[in-house]
Amino acid sequence: MNTTRHYFIAVEIDYETKKWLYQIQQRLKTDFHYKSWVDQNDFHITLHFFGAIDRTMLNRVADQLQQLDNRAFTVKIAGLSTFGSVNKPRVLWVGVEKHPSLVQLHQDIKQIVGKYVQIDKRPFTPHITLAKKWASEQQLQNKAILNQPTGEKQLHINKVVIYEIHSEKKQKYQIWQQFELK
C-alpha cells in the first residue's frame, strides 16, 4: 500500500547549535505568545517543503538527491526576525547567512525537485524557526526585543536530509533519508 505523508528537505543542524538555539528560544518565551515553540531536536533550515507527496515520487527525488555534488561549507547564524505582521508575527526565527554555497545548494535542490513537483516561487530566506502561530489577541508589546543581540554561531553544513513529519509527536520531524555533502 502506498500512503501519502508530509515531507520536506532541510539542512540538519548539529547538537551544539541546537542547544545554542534552545537557549535563545527560552529567553524569548516571556515576550512572545506563540502556540507552537519548535522542539529543540526539530531545529533545521528548510530547503524545500513538499507537504503531502506520494512515496513513489519522493523516492524519485531521493534518487536524484544522491547525485548532489555540493561541498560542505560553513555559515553564520545570528539575529532575530519574523514573518507576518509585526504586531502578531506568525513565525519567529533566527537568521542564517545567505552564503553563496547555501544559495547554490538551494538552487540545485530546486532544480531536482522541480522535475517532479511544483516549487515555491518565493525568494529563499534562509532561517531557523523558533516558534510559529501567534497565540494571543494581544499584540507584541516589546518589538525592540527583535533587535536584541543573539550572539553569532558558525554552522558547518555537511548534510541534507529529507524529514518525515509526525505532527502528533513532540519531536515532529524524523529523518527519512540523508545525503552527505562532499
Spatial separation of the C-alpha atoms in residues 123 and 127, rounded to whole Å:
12
Condensed to tens digits (0 to 9), the pLDDT of residues 12-58 reads: 999 999 999 999 999 999 889 999 999 999 999 999 999 999 899 99
pTM over 0.85: yes
Condensed to tens digits (0 to 9), the pLDDT of residues 152-175 reads: 999 999 999 999 999 889 999 999
Max mean pLDDT among 31-35, 51-55, 101-105, 133-137 falls in 101-105
Spatial separation of the C-alpha atoms in residues 154 and 152, rounded to whole Å:
7
Residue 33: all three cell numbers together: 505568545
Q: What angle do CA 109, 112, 113 make, to 5 degrees?
A: 85
Q: What is the mean pLDDT of residues 81-98?
A: 95
Q: Which of the residue ranges 76-85, 100-109, 136-145 would you say has the lowest mean pLDDT? A: 136-145
For residue 59, pLDDT beyond 90: yes
Q: Name the residue type at position 7.
A: Y
Using a pLDDT cut of 70, give the percent of the chain over it: 98
